[in-house]
Amino acid sequence: MRDLLFLSHRIPYPPDKGEKIRAWHILRHLARTHRIHLGCFVDDPADRAHIETLRAHCADLHAVVIDRRRQKALSLLRARPGRPLTLGYFADAGLAGWVRGKQQAGISRAFVYCSAMAPYLMGARTMRRVLDMVDVDSAKWAAYAARAAWPASMVWAREARTLLAFERRAAADFDRTLFVSQAEAAEFRRLSPETAGRVGWFDNGVDLDGFSPGHAFATPYPPGGQDIVFTGTMDYWPNVDAVTWFAEAVLPGVQAACPQARFTVVGANPAPAVQRLATLAGVQVTGRVPDVRPYLHHAALVVAPLRIARGTQNKVLEAMAMARPVVTTTDAFAGLRATPGEDLLVADGAAAFAAQCAAVLRGEYPGLGAAARAAVARHYAWDATLAGLDALFLDTSLAHEAMP
């Protein structure tokens, strides 16, 4: 087996949120044919307990435990003209030294997860380097800026500009740069045409055995309601915006048509704005739960009312895998291999979104959940989506070929 250096901006275990799910399955896949030397950051205190579990999957592990507030302050102190704040957040001298040591030890292959980790291997021409940007993060910051008030809009617009410039430099430097969907790759090629020949993509997957409607779970909901659920990390601004908009602007319309409708927000670290939603009629905020699957399994409907979204939404794939009806926005649907109106429902605007939710709760789409499960089974099994990844490390002639 060959040695492979794997860098990730967050610890890729446990696979309980979007960015960690993709990273974990890639790491586990590459570990079949490589000895993994993993360098990563741990910025959630709850994840510290999993460092030793992850170590068992690696030949070596260098985990940098950081405090989010301190890192945000450091990123501001490290700010320089033209430098994204993101790079300052994920800069660490100890990790940089560990990476240099791996290079000096002769490791010649590297998989880098997220553009924020690219600086650790910029210019390392003696290595075969694959960069998985996942999403076009600069476009996400531009979307933030468009929705935010000053001065946040100014800060986020600067981050969008500077990060895009860095993404383009990184894509030009690495042997291969990958994205989570064909749509994301196409968007980056449009923004960075000079790197188009070095850009590819591969889908996310879903654990079809773990997220299966065949499991038996006790219901987490009190009796007597029609339960609508959203799952996600609840201090992430797009998720905060999504559930706030749904609870305040959409849910009243759903409840007018279906009085028993209730909305449950499931996910760790609920921001104050999310916690306040629990004061609204028919809204529950759980915080962190040990397993989201019971909430999905017993939900009448799963919603993804994201108004800012990049790439493929794992929360949508997981709900569909559990054969639940899903209503999503166009932004959250983008890049998904599914058919609106057959496998899931897509709506924008409060009135249209509420109408689709009410239609599901009234039983107007009886086959939607089964069709959803079939769609993800066809396109999103992890073994299939990752099948072409190993070829990127075989020989240099493959560096610019398309994936998948």
Q: pLDDT by residue (tens digit) across 266-299?
A: 999 999 999 999 999 999 999 999 999 999 999 9
Residue 304: pLDDT over 90: yes
Q: What is the C-alpha to C-alpha distance for residues 351 and 384, in angstroms, rounded to an integer? A: 38
pLDDT over threshold 80, residue 401: no
Label residues 72-92 b or e (16+ Cβ within 10 Å = b). eebbeeeeeeeebbbbbbbbb
Domains of the chain: residue spans and CATH: 2-205+382-398 (3.40.50.2000), 226-379 (3.40.50.2000)
How many C-alpha atoms does 383 have within 13 Å on its Cβ side? 5
**Dihedral angle at the C-alpha atoms of 213, 214, 218, 222, nearest 10 degrees?**
30
Average pLDDT over residues 112-131: 96
Element (H, E) at 22: helix 18-30
Residues 26 and 20: their CA atoms lie apart, in Å, by 10
pLDDT tens digits, 143-172 = 999 988 899 899 999 999 999 999 999 999
Determine which of 22-31, 52-61, 303-312, 376-385 has the lowest per-residue pLDDT on average.
Answer: 303-312
CA distances (Å), origin 234, targets 142, 278, 307? 21, 13, 15
pLDDT band at residue 335 using 50, 70 and 90 as cut-offs: confident
Other CB atoms within a 10 A radius of the CB of residue 392 amount to 21
- What pLDDT score does 398 carry? 35
Tell the residue number behind the tokens 């496998």, with chain if given. Answer: 343
**What mean pLDDT is predicted for residues 38-61?**
95
CA torsion sign for 341, 336, 320, 306 is negative
Burial class for 216, CB neighbours closer than 10 Å (0-12, 13-18, 19+): exposed
Reply yes or no on whether the pLDDT at 329 is more than 80. yes
The pLDDT assigned to 312 comes to 80
Confidence of residue 388 (pLDDT cuts 50, 70, 90): confident
**pLDDT bucket at 219, cuts 50 / 70 / 90:** very high
pLDDT of residue 390: 84
Q: In what order do the strands lie in the sheet with 176-179?
A: 60-65, 34-42, 2-8, 109-113, 128-134, 176-179, 199-201
Taking residues 117-124, report their average pLDDT.
Answer: 97
Quote the percentage of the chain above a pLDDT of 70: 97
- 372 pLDDT band (50/70/90 cuts)? very high
Say yes or no to pLDDT of 404 above 50.
no
Over residues 210-219, the mean pLDDT reads: 96
Residue 310 confidence (pLDDT): 81
Inter-residue contact 284 to 385 (CB < 8 Å): no
Q: Which 8-state DSSP code applies to residue 222? A: P
**pLDDT bucket at 338, cuts 50 / 70 / 90:** very high
Q: Which two tokens stand for residue 94?
A: 């100890």
Instruction: Look at residue 87 in the predicted model and tell me its pLDDT.
Output: 96
Say if residue 81 is preceded by a cis peptide, omega within 30 of 0. Answer: no
Inform me whether the pLDDT recorded for 311 exceeds 90: no
